[in-house]
A and B are shown apart, each in its own frame.
Chain A
Amino acid sequence: MTHVNPKRIARKVFSLALIPLLLVSLAPRRAALGQIAAIVASDEDVLPRTGRAAPLFRLERTPVGREGELLTVFGGLGGPAPAAGTQQEVPLVSILRDTLGDEDPENDRLRHVWMLTYTRPTAWQRVASAVPFLYGRVGGKRASAKGMPPAVIDLAAPERDVWQRFMWLALQNVLINPHGAVAKSSSSALRANSERYRQAHILRALAILSLYEAETGERSPFTVAEAEEIQARLMLADQTFGGLLDDAYLERVHQKQHSQWLDTRGHNWELLRQRAEAEGLYFEPLTLPDGEPTHALLWVAREDLWKHRRRKFEKRFLNIAKPWGDRRLERWDGHTERRFYDAENRPVPEGTMGARVVELIPLALYGLDHPKIPSLLVDFRDGRNPQRREMSHRVIEDVARHVLALSRYGDIHYFLGRTVFDFVTSRRGMDINQPSRVRAYTQLKLLLSLDATLDRDLRREIEKRVERVSLNPLENDLEAEARIARRQYEALRAYAARPDGLAARLDRDRRAEMVPLAHGRAERVLLRFAGVLSLGLYKHREGAPAAEVRAALDRERKLAHHGRFLRKVSKSSPLVEVVWNVEDVRRSLRFVAESGARAGASTAKAASLIFARTHDAETRRLCLESLYRINNETAKRELLAIYRRPELDAGLRAVTERYLRDALREEQRIAPADAKAILAAVGR
């Protein structure tokens, strides 16, 4: 008798059941522009053909009680900014800044970021997003958004994302997976779609804020540090351990990531230009308002279709069908443009003496921000072509995981095969099995909104085609999104105005922020564990009076601000005064020396390093004072180490000795071995 593994039968049945689903999902979808404001899809063309005259963005401040403010970036997504308050203007991103009710930026804290098109899905969308292999939209959200919209990130608690990710992973493996393939694949699909939906909106927020910063420059209401923090945290949001990164590294993250993106962009720009040149096609870069090219169009000259009909076509990297001899192009009745070129092949205005005229047919549109290769976003001859490429990675992943129940960690053959396959497709720059092109889409939608130079017919053609590529059931159509953005902003404003609304939430957040001040590490772990066990329903908050909370956080945030600055100073230069304004350093040290008893070991180490790296007597004295004030073992160990330095001058040695003696007398935290050493060195 042949024993058939029931799991195998189940897999087969399930796989067969999935096939129709797969076929359905492959069918072209209706409008799926989920990541752009409605103005793009409206019938009325509001993009003027002239250059931009007014700013594209506007910032609105909304007070949140007396101790916070909501900063909202509005975009004139109809090209050049229309007058404020007109329908064309769409609220895009809101950021909550907790000011503690004063003007001092040192104790400000940026909290939640709302991408206002990001919304809670409808029940139907949730169900659809849990259907495996359903790669496509199921319709926009119609109901109006009520209450506070969901934030895409809490900048003050980025680590929460990391823990949530792990919590879901644990839940998935412990609670859901044992219930079979259906439960496993459904929950996986739900999570993956939710993550992608959020990621798309984070990327859009990042792009908007980046453009906003580029446009406003020094006039930006965000400090340099705030701007870097916002952008770096958004960049890190999709990295596994991104939420755990120390704030001191944010500047580097921002710089490195930004450089990498620009590198990719330039690289793809050049790759596509060269490929177009090699194939006799016309290359046209498209730029965002900051002047950065993010996309490019490829065209073919109608006259060349006949001229080059026998020409070979190398489709590598272009990923479109051969245009030469293509009947669809020969009979093309879609959008075309007449362009004029001078003898040097520069585009020139119509009527220029000696210019030749060329009728161009659009072939494809590419995103330049995709890793390694330009990503095909629109194929004007084959609308499904980009969709298939975008889907390929997910199909491979989902079939392996959910149909064949293969895991990289559980099957060595699959692991090896998949590793080779991934390596080859990635190394060769094949446009299948590649990372999602969600960033390129996000940028494209922004570009369509902001680029006033695109021909209106062409823009419509692009809009129409780009909708087909949307694979996420959670996404809303364009019209719905603009409506959602406006309503969510209204809801947010209303929530901000209510005493029990955003201000109350701010207060709750502060009380949660108080937890490390009131509890030790072990207690905090237990409290967090309780939160995890209750699926996030329980969150511990301190119950002190508001004024007390405010005062404590004021101290704590300032200490964090100065500690971060001192850490940066200590790591950056072997001689502090060459690189930094020494008065700034003294100011931070002075704060620690006066109010830094709670400062951490890293601040103590920073003070010690600064002591070694400055010749400024006052700064050195403040370092010693800070080390005395910081009540932890590291600070006293560093103080003792300084005392033991043979080259220390007599005056500072005396000061150090006094501080060590006082620390002993005050019974500060000192490691027993250090206490003994101090006793031996300075006496009681």
Chain B
Amino acid sequence: MRAIADRGLRMAGPARGGSHPPGPRGGRPAFSSLTPGRPRQPRPALPTPRLLLAALALLLFAPPAAAAAKRVVVIKVDGLPHAAVERFVRERDRRTGKSVLPWFEHVFYERGTRLNNFYVRGMSLSGPSWSLLDTGQHLQIKGNVEFDRYTLHSYDYLNFIPFWIANVGGVRVDMPGAELLDELGIPLLADAYPYDERFMSFQLYQRGNRWTTLQRGLQNAVTSRGIRDFIDEWNTIGVGGRDILNEQQERELIGKLQDPRVRYLDFYTTDFDHAAHHNRDRATQLAALKELDALVGRLWAAIQQTPQAAETALVLVSDHGTNTDERVYSQGYNLVKLLGRAEGGGHHVVTKRRLLNDYALKGIYPLIPLIYTTTEESFYLKGESTTYPTALVDFDGNERASIHLRDSDLNLLHILLLELRRGKLSEPQRRAAREAFFQTLERRRPGWQRTFDELREELGALRRLIERQRRLVESQPKKFTKADADAGRDKEARREFARLDSWTGDERKYAAYAQQLANLLALDPARFTPERVRVEDLFAPGAMGDANTVRQLQNYVVGPAPRGLTLDIGGALDYEKSFRRVNYFELLARIAVLNNVQPGVASRPVDFSAVRVPAEAIAGALGEDLRADEVIWLYGGRDRQALVLARTGGGLSLRYLPVADLRQGADGRVTFTRAAWGAGLPLKLWEDARLAVPGGVSREAWLSGWRTDLEWLRAAHRTAYSNAVVGLHEQLGRHATEATDDRAPGLAEDERLLRRFRRRQRELVETDLLIFANDHWNFDVRGFNPGGNHGSLFRVSTHSTLMLAGGERAGVPRGLAVEEPYDSLSFMPTLLALTGQVEDGTRPVQALWRMGYRRFPGRLIGEIFEGRTDAPAPVADAEAAP
């Protein structure tokens, strides 16, 4: 999905100061006013009595110098495992007798608070993980790369280079992740601070781009060194582009610390993540950590030299851990090749990462297009890899992979059409094939017709939105003063153009898909002449169509049967015998490699697959007792299956249900048999000695009940799969936002349609199969990551780092180690609470509410605030939020 918001109903009223309209994007108007259907609180001209009372209470009871961080500096470290930090902080340097990470110890262990059990909520993958940390809201971005099933549009949240180029061209202002969250009405942490009061480094959810950083980085790389150092470092040791950028960003951040107006600063580094992907050895990882340690020291020292030191909090946070072990190389398995092979379905596969990128001449091209991996083993689409890819794979992470397969019925129709066009069928076969073609079409007609009708409505609303946006873009000033630039107004104007550009692209692509759907639906059996239709008119090139059902994935049509179309006794097409089919669950679970050369690494690369099962399809089989709003099926083999059930009304409750023989019938109903608890089930909870069920309750009884997400976290966080039950729901569940809730009362029709369109776009990137790798396996095929990987739900990969320290008035306890487990959703509310910007732990203050922030689903890290008699003094105005 790309940016949509109803410009006609957008309010641009200044919320603070009046110098510029604050909002999630700094210079952008408050998001709460962007979505017209949202029941907006009418802004009272005068404070209400309730607000007056609150203000009075604050004045009366708040201590004169209430402890609250007035400034926050966040070091964002990609892929920093807590265990690595803990291990090395405890290790003494033989030469000095100090910790080998002395600054970590000095700042966070002695003068701050650290969380010993801080986990990713969801997969341990950078794109999704940072979105949780940066928003404090449930997961919307489900992978580093996402594909739209209808349009083949790819969202590449990690790739800076296309963003930089688009930024130079003026067509994009923010990284794709930030753009998408804007569209969903979810502001970032940095958005809580006006443009000129924050300093953002280059990162995944980046707003704007400072070209001067690149330019000055290059200059300083040469001029900041003496000639001797230059020779030593550049010629002998080597300094890479990332070093130059990091150095310059650090320089700029330290410079910004001198500006008392700047209250939010962050620094993003991927160095440890890169080192751990490449090298498993202790020395390399320690060297990367030492660099980080030195950075902590430099930033801490720089903060201490500013007048705001006492009120500054330094926070170090990571998005996930890393599965790295000195004794083991992480082994890759090529799912793309598997899908291309006959046994895998003979798919032409689309990826967003080039296979063996470092060995390809095309790999030097910075604008990564869609990569098509052609197979010679396709059963009916030979030579048509760029027109009809039938699988999309995202393997980033790389301990997991997401796979989209083309709607199996589209394959079936496509095969039948090709067979009919070939003219080699006997007349009975031909008649049966025609019948089967239209039978299938009729079976799917209701769903496709509904999609077409809805899309038509939504695209109508989108076109009207585009027209309004076009007028808005034309009305934007063409030139900006320095004051405008300093306030970010130039970027805001360019953002309007970026939105227009994005929506225009969406409209064009979806319209094309809708047209082809219409063509298919318009086929009339009486006038149907297969030889005269163009295949591309009926089957949208590149489109995957609707998501496959469990039944389809268990009986996926990959080509005509070797003996061609077969008729049954009645002369009708025998669907079973006429097509080659693949059961993808079994296929993936069956994969085993020939070379099993490392002790402790299994010969099976795939641990289990996870799919979302429509709750209504399985409701009958579950019964009332097990009634669930959302259902996820985990398949690790014939005798290794389970369901994760979720009830979402009135707080999240989750249940793990061992099952067997799950199937979906032709009528869509899902059936299964209950299985007993035992070892070997997905997530291996039963046999994990570290599962901590409450005293007095048997393991079976506890595991067989409905538990809240917090109960699951507390009981399971030390197990091998840690908070995987919660994480699976976070990853595969649907989390509505105001911007996708088209059922909210009082919405204007266009807004309702646009919200539905946004929701559709999010659902279109949901994959058919989410595949998790076994321990020390990965699915990276862009290159090799023998050092280690992440992406899975293993504790080693989800156990992340969060540490805080601050000056004496920043309100961060000293020498505190928090043992209570927390997850990513706790980060944002805790940070905002530390700066006095949330009330009762989850509700943003009015100023933030107006900017689009909403109640945070995560828990506050209470230990930080325990024993404090003083309420954090709000930095923003402290009106009560609705």
Which A positions have Cβ atoms within 8 angstroms of B? 224, 236, 239-242, 244-246, 249, 252-253, 255-256, 258-259, 262-263, 266-267, 269-271, 273-274, 276-278, 280, 282-285, 341, 344-347, 372, 424, 427-429, 572-575, 578-581, 584, 613
Structural contact, A262 and B332, CB atoms closer than 8 A: no
B332 cross-chain contacts in A, Cβ below 8 A: 270, 274
Q: How far is the CB of A424 from chain B (nearest CB, A)?
A: 7
Structural contact, A255 and B283, CB atoms closer than 8 A: yes
**Once the chains are docked, how many angstroms separate the CA of A269 from the CA of B598?**
12
Structural contact, A428 and B596, CB atoms closer than 8 A: no
Structural contact, A263 and B603, CB atoms closer than 8 A: no
Which of A346, A429, A573 meets B297, CB within 8 Å? A573
B297 cross-chain contacts in A, Cβ below 8 A: 573-575, 578-579
B786 cross-chain contacts in A, Cβ below 8 A: 266-267, 269-270
Which residues from 265 to 302 on chain B have a C-beta closer than 8 Å to any C-beta of chain A? 275, 278-281, 283-284, 287, 294, 297-298, 300-302
Which of B360, B364, B596 meets A344, CB within 8 Å? B596
- 3 closest Cβ pairs, A-B complex: A574-B301, A266-B786, A259-B284
Structural contact, B232 and A245, CB atoms closer than 8 A: yes
B595 within 8 A of A: yes
The segment out of B91-99, B256-264, B379-387, B795-803 that lies at the interface is B91-99
Given known A224-B94, A428-B361, contact A276–B595 (CB-CB < 8 A): yes
Structural contact, B232 and A424, CB atoms closer than 8 A: no
The segment out of B234-242, B535-543, B697-705, B845-853 that lies at the interface is B234-242
**Once the chains are docked, how many angstroms separate the CA of A6 from the CA of B853?**
84
B238 cross-chain contacts in A, Cβ below 8 A: 256
Structural contact, A253 and B279, CB atoms closer than 8 A: no
Which residues from 351 to 385 on chain B have a C-beta closer than 8 Å to any C-beta of chain A? 358-361, 363-364
5 A-B residue pairings within 8 Å (CB atoms):
A249-B236, A267-B786, A280-B594, A428-B359, A580-B98
B648 within 8 A of A: no
Given known A236-B236, A256-B237, A424-B361, contact A263–B97 (CB-CB < 8 A): no
Q: How far is the CB of B14 from chain A (nearest CB, A)?
A: 40
A253 cross-chain contacts in B, Cβ below 8 A: 236-237
Structural contact, B281 and A259, CB atoms closer than 8 A: yes
A347 cross-chain contacts in B, Cβ below 8 A: 596-597
B228 within 8 A of A: yes
Given known A269-B786, A574-B298, contact A427–B359 (CB-CB < 8 A): yes
B330 cross-chain contacts in A, Cβ below 8 A: 270
Structural contact, A277 and B236, CB atoms closer than 8 A: no
B284 cross-chain contacts in A, Cβ below 8 A: 255, 258-259, 262-263
B331 within 8 A of A: yes
A345 cross-chain contacts in B, Cβ below 8 A: 592-596, 603
B359 cross-chain contacts in A, Cβ below 8 A: 372, 427-429
Whose C-beta in chain A lies nearest to the C-beta of B101? Answer: A579
B334 within 8 A of A: yes
Q: How far is the CB of B211 from chain A (nearest CB, A)?
A: 29
A224 cross-chain contacts in B, Cβ below 8 A: 94-95
B103 within 8 A of A: yes
Convert B94-119 into 0s and 1s, putting 1 for each residue whose CB lies closer than 8 angstroms to a CB of A.
Answer: 11111000110010000000000000
Convert B777-798 into 0s and 1s, putting 1 for each residue whose CB lies closer than 8 angstroms to a CB of A.
Answer: 0000001101100000000000
B56 within 8 A of A: no
Structural contact, A580 and B237, CB atoms closer than 8 A: no
Interface size on B, residues (CB 8 A): 54
Whose C-beta in chain B lies nearest to the C-beta of A267? Answer: B784
Given known A252-B237, A274-B332, contact A244–B279 (CB-CB < 8 A): no
B331 cross-chain contacts in A, Cβ below 8 A: 270, 273
Which of A270, A428, A580 meets B784, CB within 8 Å? A270
**Once the chains are docked, how many angstroms separate the CA of A326 from the CA of B481?**
75
Structural contact, B595 and A241, CB atoms closer than 8 A: no
Given known A259-B279, A428-B359, contact A581–B97 (CB-CB < 8 A): yes
A259 cross-chain contacts in B, Cβ below 8 A: 275, 279, 281, 283-284, 287
B161 within 8 A of A: no
**Once the chains are docked, how many angstroms separate the CA of A429 from the CA of B302?**
46
**Once the chains are docked, how many angstroms separate the CA of A435 from the CA of B275?**
25
Structural contact, B301 and A239, CB atoms closer than 8 A: no
**Once the chains are docked, how many angstroms separate the CA of A262 from the CA of B337?**
28
B329 within 8 A of A: yes
A284 cross-chain contacts in B, Cβ below 8 A: 597
A429 cross-chain contacts in B, Cβ below 8 A: 359
Whose C-beta in chain B lies nearest to the C-beta of A271? Answer: B784
B626 within 8 A of A: no
B94 cross-chain contacts in A, Cβ below 8 A: 224
B602 within 8 A of A: yes
What 16 additional pairs, Cβ within 8 angstroms, besides A249-B232, A259-B287, A581-B95? A239-B236, A240-B235, A246-B228, A263-B278, A263-B279, A266-B280, A273-B597, A274-B332, A282-B594, A283-B597, A344-B603, A347-B597, A428-B359, A428-B361, A579-B103, A581-B97
B523 within 8 A of A: no
Q: How far is the CB of A265 from chain B (nearest CB, A)?
A: 9
Structural contact, A346 and B281, CB atoms closer than 8 A: no
A266 cross-chain contacts in B, Cβ below 8 A: 278-280, 329, 784, 786-787
B231 within 8 A of A: yes
Given known A274-B332, A575-B297, A581-B98, contact A283–B595 (CB-CB < 8 A): yes
Q: How far is the CB of B189 from chain A (nearest CB, A)?
A: 27
Structural contact, A575 and B279, CB atoms closer than 8 A: no
Structural contact, A427 and B361, CB atoms closer than 8 A: yes
Q: How far is the CB of A226 from chain B (nearest CB, A)?
A: 13
Structural contact, A245 and B597, CB atoms closer than 8 A: no
A282 cross-chain contacts in B, Cβ below 8 A: 594-595
Which residues from 836 to 864 on chain B have a C-beta closer than 8 Å to any C-beta of chain A? none
Q: How far is the CB of A344 from chain B (nearest CB, A)?
A: 5
B236 cross-chain contacts in A, Cβ below 8 A: 236, 239, 241-242, 245, 249, 253
Q: How far is the CB of A631 from chain B (nearest CB, A)?
A: 21
Given known A266-B329, A270-B331, A277-B593, contact A244–B231 (CB-CB < 8 A): yes
B597 cross-chain contacts in A, Cβ below 8 A: 273, 283-285, 347
Convert B311-336 into 0s and 1s, putting 1 for each residue whose CB lies closer than 8 angstroms to a CB of A.
Answer: 00000000000000000011110100
Whose C-beta in chain B lies nearest to the C-beta of A292? Answer: B281
Structural contact, A578 and B102, CB atoms closer than 8 A: yes
**Once the chains are docked, how many angstroms separate the CA of A263 from the CA of B283?**
12
Structural contact, B96 and A277, CB atoms closer than 8 A: no
**By CB atoms of chain A within 10 A, which of B284, B330, B360, B594 has the most?**
B594
Q: How far is the CB of B597 from chain A (nearest CB, A)?
A: 6
B283 cross-chain contacts in A, Cβ below 8 A: 255, 258-259
**Once the chains are docked, how many angstroms separate the CA of A345 from the CA of B300?**
53
Q: How far is the CB of B859 from chain A (nearest CB, A)?
A: 33
**Once the chains are docked, how many angstroms separate the CA of A447 from the CA of B284?**
24
Whose C-beta in chain B lies nearest to the C-beta of A252? Answer: B237
Whose C-beta in chain B lies nearest to the C-beta of A255? Answer: B287
A424 cross-chain contacts in B, Cβ below 8 A: 361
**By CB atoms of chain B within 10 A, which of A252, A256, A341, A345 has the most?**
A345
B287 cross-chain contacts in A, Cβ below 8 A: 255-256, 259
**Once the chains are docked, how many angstroms separate the CA of A347 from the CA of B595?**
9
Q: How far is the CB of B21 from chain A (nearest CB, A)?
A: 39
**Once the chains are docked, how many angstroms separate the CA of A114 from the CA of B787?**
35
Structural contact, B235 and A241, CB atoms closer than 8 A: yes
Structural contact, B279 and A579, CB atoms closer than 8 A: no
Structural contact, B594 and A580, CB atoms closer than 8 A: no
Structural contact, A572 and B294, CB atoms closer than 8 A: yes
A572 cross-chain contacts in B, Cβ below 8 A: 294
Whose C-beta in chain B lies nearest to the C-beta of A249? Answer: B232
Structural contact, A277 and B594, CB atoms closer than 8 A: yes
**Once the chains are docked, how many angstroms separate the CA of A252 from the CA of B783?**
26
**Once the chains are docked, how many angstroms separate the CA of A285 from the CA of B595?**
11
**By CB atoms of chain A within 10 A, which of B106, B592, B597 has the most?**
B597
Convert B209-241 into 0s and 1s, putting 1 for each residue whose CB lies closer than 8 angstroms to a CB of A.
Answer: 000000000000000000010011101111000
Structural contact, A267 and B278, CB atoms closer than 8 A: yes
**Once the chains are docked, how many angstroms separate the CA of A36 from the CA of B228?**
39
**Once the chains are docked, how many angstroms separate the CA of A144 from the CA of B359?**
48
